[in-house]
Amino acid sequence: MDLVACHGFDHDELATYYKIAANEKMSVAYYTASGRKMQPFVHAHKAYEFILPLDTIPILRYQEANYIGEVGYCYPVNPEVKHGLGFELSSELFSIVVDPRYVEAIKAQMGLSGRWFYTRFAEGSKLVALLHRFVMSPLPSLTDEIVRLLVGDGLAATVDNRRPDAQYFVGIKGSIAYMMDHYLDHDLTIKEVAAHSAFGYTYFTKAFCRYMHDTPINHLNKLKLSKAKQLMRTQPQLTLSQIALASGYKSGSAFCEAFKRVLGVSPKDYRKFFV
């Protein structure tokens, strides 16, 4: 199996990645927005794939479902499942493609045979560090450590929170893009976002919930908090107050309240355990 080809099925797609490293069991592609932007696409392949955003991805697609790609989570794709991007990509990410025979062998060794990956799962800085090492030197020992980490953490998540409802996409596409471009604005309102959709405010909220399986305000908070998690990892010298302002919150207290409510842990504890 040509694992490298699973990142993209033609030269133009593969050329958007900054670096690709592979061995006979796994291929890791590192994308950064320093070059060409990756265009929206949907494809499927026989390998397992794991997408790890290092910056917020506006829309990830999985079969007919659509959802935001948040920092701090890994998004698994089972073999032969259609997946891809709903918007042009300018976010940093890792795409990890693994030979299905190797994944099944690791599952068997870990007593997890017959299990499938259902939904995103939390991943900390350890996986990011391992992937950076792999793209520099794709050693078999790193392959084994990375795949065991993905299998163990990924198969612990059993509830699928992806919900398809593509009929509303055309109507709210503009509002999703507008929110992505302006979520760091401290004064951004949902009414302002709704004005960039094809619907009135009341119906916009309903359409947004049907399409994203989340409310507009929760989606906005997820964008802000994804930025906050990125800053915690890349700029550890920043205080929580500085991160709050840089993530689009007006105050540190509003940031901490939203962080705890959405993620179930305080920013201080998140930084301690995941960064």
Q: What is the pLDDT of residues 161-186, one digit of tens each?
A: 555 556 667 788 889 889 999 999 99
| Domain ranges in the chain with CATH number 2.60.120.10 | 4-154
CATH second-level architecture of 4-154?
Sandwich (2.60)
Q: What is the pLDDT of residues 230-274, one digit of tens each?
A: 999 889 999 999 999 999 999 999 999 999 998 889 999 998 877
Q: In this structure, what DSSP letter does residue 36 have?
A: P
Q: Which regions of the chain are under pLDDT 50? A: none
What pLDDT score was predicted for residue 165? 54
User: What is the pLDDT, as a whole number, of residue 105?
Assistant: 97
pLDDT at 138: 95
Q: Residue 166: what pLDDT?
A: 60
Concatenated DSSP letters of 247-273: TT-SSHHHHHHHHHHHHSS-HHHHHHH
User: Which residues belong to CATH 1.10.10.60 in the chain?
Assistant: 166-274
The pLDDT value recorded for residue 152 is 95
Residue whose C-alpha is closest to residue 243's, from 227, 223, 258, 260: 227
Domain spanning 166-274: which CATH class is it, in words? mainly alpha
